[in-house]
Amino acid sequence: MSWKGLAMVLMISAFCLDGAFGESDLLFYDPTTGQGEFYSTDGAGNADLLKNYRNWRATWSMIVPGDFNGDGFTDLLFYDPAAGEGEFYSTDGRGDIRLLQSHSGWRRTWSMIVPGDFNGDGFTDLLFYDSAAGQGEFYATDGTGNIRLLQSHSGWRRTWSIIVPGDFNGDGFTDLLFYDPAAGQGEFYATDGSGNIRLLKASDGWRRTWSSIVPGDFNGDEYTDLLFYDPAAGQGEFYATDGTGNIRLLKSHSGWRRTWSMIMPGDFNSDGYTDLLFYDPAAGQGEFYATDGSGNIRLLQSHSGWRRTWSIIVPGVFSGGADGSPGPEHDESDGFPGPTGGGYADLLFYDPAAGQGEFYSTDGSGNIQLLKSSSGWRRTWSIIVPGDFNGDGFTDLLFYDPSAGQGEFYATDGSGNIRLLKASDGWRRTWSAIVPGDFNGDGFTDLLFYDPAAGQGEFYATDGTGNIRHLQSHSGWRRTWSSIVPGEFNGDGFTDLLFYDPSAGQGEFYATDGSGNIRLLKSHSGWRRTWSSIVPGEFNGDGFTDLLFYDPAAGQGEFYATDGTGNIRLLKSHSGWRRTWSTIVPGEFNGDGFTDLLFYDPAAGQGEFYSTDGGGNLALLKASDGWRRTWSVIEAGSF
């Protein structure tokens, strides 16, 4: 079980237990695609999409729920250890989020952040635990996203793997259960409102293979109960607590699935007991269960076809009024900023003839608004690669000039300004493609460089400052690949690749392994030789990257779904398309969670935004005339 999955089982719990819920809503976060999705639940185990966000920072390792502004909706703390940053956001009952406060200079080695009521003022407080240093620090929050140190502790055991918040002694402050699997020990502590802790009970002989300990109200008394889950044995055990640190078995279950990575507590059927959502990423399945007060569980709903790359699931109050009444009507165009600065994709247009670049924002309806126009840009950039090259959540840019053998990394700031991170000389002048992706799993965008003249491909990692580090070099590659398309084609979290050779009518899907190696998933022959563009996106909602193929000679476009093994399935075929589209840009242009498209025709000076619907159909959002005819590059991102 990954730390990110396990951590959230624990971190959400304090808020889940404070009685603020009617039925629990859910936030799902996928770092591989930089997406966050808010869902409401209906009491029967069904979930409905509230809001989808793209371009979220890929390096959030924890998302901690709590009441950080006092309005009754669940707020969120996002923590990025690579950047040493934390950001507090409020939510509004419609799936929109708004930045409360951004913090930099945070310790990069916090292994857990546990929410609870540690000072009694009504706002959610926080315990930060650093296992490497053996330290714990309690902080109070103030309703505006600021934090204040209550108490710092050193000399803590470094082998605590789980810290569970709950009410274990009935005094109104959040208490804590610490679990050490290496020692087979569990210790219950009370807190006092000032950041101090007091031992209630230390227990030996605990099973060493519990991967999750989930708090909840499983028997209806005033104390927090516990579900222990052992995936190696396929067992779950419910225990009641008694207010003094003792536990009593309610029910033991065997034959449980061994591949649950997350078990999330919440109120999913409104009967007053804590219910459970089990998530299995390997199978792409989620199952909602009700509990009955005696340690028994009953299936509410089983779901298949779920995305396999959710790393964090957070329950909370994200919909309706804080008192359970319906909230304001949801307007997708509100555009509250998210953890990257916006819910809709922005655009960079580059005109080499004029040496100009222009950044535009979009509004969810196909309109664009100028953020910044820049002149004096180099006219010999042939490739501009978007990615996260410094970890701040905004889309950064790599500019490549083959005539000079130079590459320059730039950061963007959310207002259309750019700042040089690093300029590099001596680059090979024969790279024809530079493909961004997550090829080593560190959260920064990595790069694949392809040289068809030499038949070579080289993978490089980036480090957050504009430097690159060689991962792997490949020779003997086919020299006739015209397109290399990145995407999630096998569900393992690393960016996979589709190679297309029009001269042979062939396409090959490859998986990557985090070290720059590639492995064939599937080879296809008999493909059309006249595809000029292959556009990746989320066109059917199953979590794998889908594809749009465009043939200008025939005026045709075809949407295909992928299945995680390199197979493709036709979603929809379109004829009668304009034959003069030179660029098709994927992005989130209407906020519904599916990838939308911008088509650009330089001959006509026109751009058209289209939404997609999950079935391969398109609907026009906006057609615009009078566009500059000399844009050579259009990139989507969060600028």
The answer to whether the beta carbons of residues 277 and 25 sit under 8 Å apart is no
pLDDT value at residue 472: 97
Does residue 84 surpass a pLDDT of 60?
yes
The answer to whether the beta carbons of residues 436 and 536 sit under 8 Å apart is no
The pair of three-digit structure tokens given for residue 36, joined into one six-digit string: 């966050």
List the single range of 11-20, 150-159, 344-353, 547-556 with lowest mean pLDDT.
Answer: 11-20
Does residue 324 surpass a pLDDT of 80?
no
Q: Are strands 356-362 and 346-351 parallel, antiparallel or unpaired?
A: antiparallel
Q: Which residue has the higher pLDDT, 53 or 209?
A: 209
Does residue 13 surpass a pLDDT of 50?
no
- Percent of the chain residues past pLDDT 70, beyond the cut: 93
pLDDT value at residue 319: 86
The pair of three-digit structure tokens given for residue 404, joined into one six-digit string: 């000079």
The pair of three-digit structure tokens given for residue 47, joined into one six-digit string: 């979930």
Place of tokens 């042979």: 504
Average pLDDT over residues 112-134: 95
Average pLDDT, the chain: 90
Q: Which residue has the higher pLDDT, 4 or 174?
A: 174
Does residue 334 surpass a pLDDT of 90?
no
Q: How far apart are alpha carbons 106 and 258 in whole angstroms?
A: 36
Q: Are strands 85-91 and 518-524 parallel, antiparallel or unpaired?
A: unpaired
Closest CA to 439 of 515, 385, 386, 542: 515
Does residue 337 surpass a pLDDT of 90?
no
pLDDT value at residue 343: 61
Does residue 38 surpass a pLDDT of 50?
yes
Tell me the per-residue pLDDT of 191-201, one tens digit each, with 9 for 90 and over.
Answer: 999 999 999 99
Read off the pTM: 0.58
Average pLDDT over residues 549-553: 97
215: confidence class by pLDDT, cuts 50, 70, 90? very high
* Domains of the chain and any CATH numbers: 25-316 (2.130.10.10), 332-637 (2.130.10.10)
Which residues does residue 519 pair with via DSSP β-bridges, in sequence order?
A: 511
Q: Is 452 helix (H, G, I), strand (E, B) or coil?
A: coil
Beta strand extents in 442-539 (DSSP E only): 446-451, 456-462, 468-474, 483-487, 496-501, 506-512, 518-524, 533-537
71: confidence class by pLDDT, cuts 50, 70, 90? confident
Tell me the per-residue pLDDT of 414-453, one tens digit each, with 9 for 90 and over.
Answer: 889 999 999 999 999 999 999 999 999 887 899 999 999 9
The pair of three-digit structure tokens given for residue 77, joined into one six-digit string: 């703390």
pLDDT value at residue 427: 97
Beta strand extents in 475-615 (DSSP E only): 483-487, 496-501, 506-512, 518-524, 533-537, 546-551, 556-562, 568-574, 583-587, 596-601, 606-612
pLDDT value at residue 331: 30
Place of tokens 């580090």: 469
The answer to whether the beta carbons of residues 383 and 434 sit under 8 Å apart is yes
560: confidence class by pLDDT, cuts 50, 70, 90? very high
pLDDT value at residue 376: 95
105 class by beta-carbon count within 10 Å (0-12 exposed, 13-18 middle, 19+ buried) = exposed
Tell me the per-residue pLDDT of 235-248, one tens digit each, with 9 for 90 and over.
Answer: 999 999 999 999 99
17: confidence class by pLDDT, cuts 50, 70, 90? very low
Place of tokens 């535009």: 360
Average pLDDT over residues 540-555: 93
pLDDT value at residue 321: 45
Q: How far apart are alpha carbons 376 and 374 in whole angstroms?
A: 7
pLDDT value at residue 19: 39
Query: How far from 83 is each of 90, 380, 391, CA to CA, in Å?
Result: 21, 33, 6
pLDDT value at residue 423: 96
